[in-house]
Amino acid sequence: MNWEDYRAKLIIAVMGEAESCSFFEKYLIACVGWNRWFHQKKYNFNTLEKDFLGYRREIIINEVSREKMEESIKAVDRAFIELNAGNKKYNDLFFFNLSGRKPSTIFKVEPVIFDKVVHTFFRIID
């Protein structure tokens, strides 16, 4: 899959996962998605369709949700630009969930907690 198709799917996933969340939280979820894209060969992650529950959520765009969708697009694009430019601040985020429990994965992970976000994010420990 090329990056443009992946971008489109990631926008849907971010909107589905974090429609009512802050721009920063949308950005963090987008970082997870792009980190998986950039490191797919190293870690062999599942697809967005499988791992991002929000991807499967029905999204209806109306006057209220349009702004949230635009935020999701901006978050995905900003994450791509910053991670691709070498911003290392969030380049180790590979998982997230609402429960706060460690994800079921073969990788050893640890939580990364951010203030004022509802999702818990996880980094892979090598």
Cα–Cα distance measured from residue 26 to residue 29, given in angstroms and rounded to the nearest whole number:
5
Tell me: the pLDDT tens digits for 2-29?
Answer: 989 999 999 999 999 999 999 999 999 9
**Residue 55, strand partner residues:** none
For residue 126, pLDDT beyond 80: no
Contacts of 68 (CB under 8 A, 6+ apart): 15, 19, 20
Contacts of 102 (CB under 8 A, 6+ apart): 109, 111, 122
What secondary structure, in 3-state letters, does the chain show? Answer: CCHHHHHHHHHHHHHHHHCCCCHHHHHHHHHHHHHHHHCHHHHCCCCHHHHCHHHHCCCCCCHHHHHHHHHHHHHHHHHHHHHHCCCCCCCCEEEEECCCCCCCCCCCEEEECCCCCCCEEEEECC
Tell me: the pLDDT tens digits for 80-122?
Answer: 999 999 888 999 999 999 999 999 889 999 999 999 999 999 9
Write down the domain spans for the chain: 3-91
